Chain A
Amino acid sequence: MAGYIFRRVLQAIPVFFGTTFLIYFMVFAMPGDPIVALFGDKTPNPAVIEQLRQQYHLDQPFIVQYFLYIGGIFRGDFGTSFSGEPVTQILARTFPVTIRLAVLALIFQSVAGIAVGLVSGLRKGKLFDSSALVVSLILISLPIFVIAYVAQFVFGVQLGWARTTVGPGAPLQDLILPAIVLASVSFAQIVRLTRSSVIETSGLDFVRTAYSKGLSRKRIVPVHILRNSLIPVVTYLATDFGVLLVGATVTEGIFNVPGVGNTLYQAIIRGEGPTVVSFVTVMVLLYLVVNLVVDLLYGLLDPRIRLVK
Chain B
Amino acid sequence: MKIRRIGIGALALAAASALVLTGCSTGGDTPSTSGSNTSIITANGSEPQNPLIPTNTNEVGGGKILDEIFAGLVYYDAKGAPVNDVAESIETDDAQNYTIKIKPGLKFTNGDPVDATSFVDAWQYGALLSNAQLSSYFFEDIEGFSYDADSPLTGLKVVDDTTFTVALTSPKSDFPLRLGYSAFYPLPKTAFEDMAAFGENPIGNGPYMLAGEGAWKHNEKIDLVVNPDYDGGRVPKNGGLSIVFYATQDAAYADLQGGNLDVLDAVPDSAYQTFESDLGDRAVNQAAAVFQSFTIPARLPHFDGEEGKLRRAAISMSINREEITKVIFEGTRTPASDFTSPVIDGWTDKLEGADVLAYNPDEAVKLWAQADAISPWSGTFQIAYNADGGHQGWVDAVSNSIKNTLGIDASGAPSPTFAEVRTAITDRSIQTAFRTGWQADYPGLFNFLGPIYATDAGSNDGDYSNPDFDALLAKGSSETDVDTANKDFQDAQEILLKDLPAIPLWYSNVTGGYGTDVSNVTFGWNSVPLFYEITKG
- By a beta-carbon cutoff of 8 Å, the part of chain A in contact with chain B is 30-34, 36-48, 51-52, 55, 82-85, 89-90, 93-94, 145, 149, 152-153, 156-157, 160, 163-165, 167-169, 249-250, 252-256, 258, 262-263, 265-266, 269-271
* Complex Cα spacing A224 to B247, Å: 47
* Complex Cα spacing A82 to B134, Å: 12
| A253 in contact with B248 given A48-B129, A48-B147 (CB within 8 Å) | yes
| A265 in contact with B8 given A82-B50, A164-B257, A253-B247 (CB within 8 Å) | yes
| A165 in contact with B254 given A39-B3, A256-B247 (CB within 8 Å) | yes
Contact: A36 with B423, CB < 8 Å? yes
The 10 closest A-B pairs by CB, nearest first: A40-B3, A32-B419, A32-B420, A164-B258, A51-B132, A37-B419, A41-B15, A256-B251, A164-B254, A47-B147
A–B Cβ pairs within 8 angstroms, 19 of them: A30-B420, A32-B418, A37-B419, A39-B422, A40-B59, A41-B13, A41-B459, A42-B137, A42-B459, A45-B136, A51-B132, A52-B132, A83-B49, A84-B199, A157-B258, A165-B260, A254-B8, A258-B218, A262-B247
- By a beta-carbon cutoff of 8 Å, the part of chain B in contact with chain A is 1-4, 6-9, 13-16, 47-51, 58-59, 129-130, 132-134, 136-137, 147-148, 196, 199-200, 217-221, 244-248, 250-252, 254-255, 257-258, 260, 270, 388, 415, 417-426, 436-438, 451, 458-461
| A266 in contact with B148 given A40-B15, A41-B1, A83-B51 (CB within 8 Å) | no
Give the residue of A41, A44, A160, A165 whose beta carbon is less than 8 angstroms from that of B14. Answer: A41
* Complex Cα spacing A250 to B254, Å: 15
Give the residue of B130, B219, B415, B451 whose beta carbon is less than 8 angstroms from that of A93. Answer: B219
Contact: B248 with A39, CB < 8 Å? no
Closest to A162 in B: B258
| A149 in contact with B220 given A42-B58, A48-B136, A253-B8 (CB within 8 Å) | no
**Which B residues lie within 8 Å of A51 (CB)?**
129-130, 132
**Nearest chain B CB to A278's CB is how many angstroms away?**
15
**Which B residues lie within 8 Å of A83 (CB)?**
47-51, 218
* Complex Cα spacing A132 to B248, Å: 33
**Nearest chain A CB to B297's CB is how many angstroms away?**
13
| A156 in contact with B49 given A168-B220, A254-B248 (CB within 8 Å) | no
Contact: A258 with B16, CB < 8 Å? no
**Nearest chain B CB to A187's CB is how many angstroms away?**
23
Contact: B3 with A41, CB < 8 Å? yes
**Which B residues lie within 8 Å of A82 (CB)?**
49-50
Contact: A152 with B260, CB < 8 Å? no
Q: A32-B419, A48-B129, A93-B219 given; name 10 further pairs at CB < 8 Å.
A: A33-B423, A40-B4, A42-B458, A42-B459, A48-B147, A90-B218, A254-B248, A256-B255, A266-B247, A269-B417
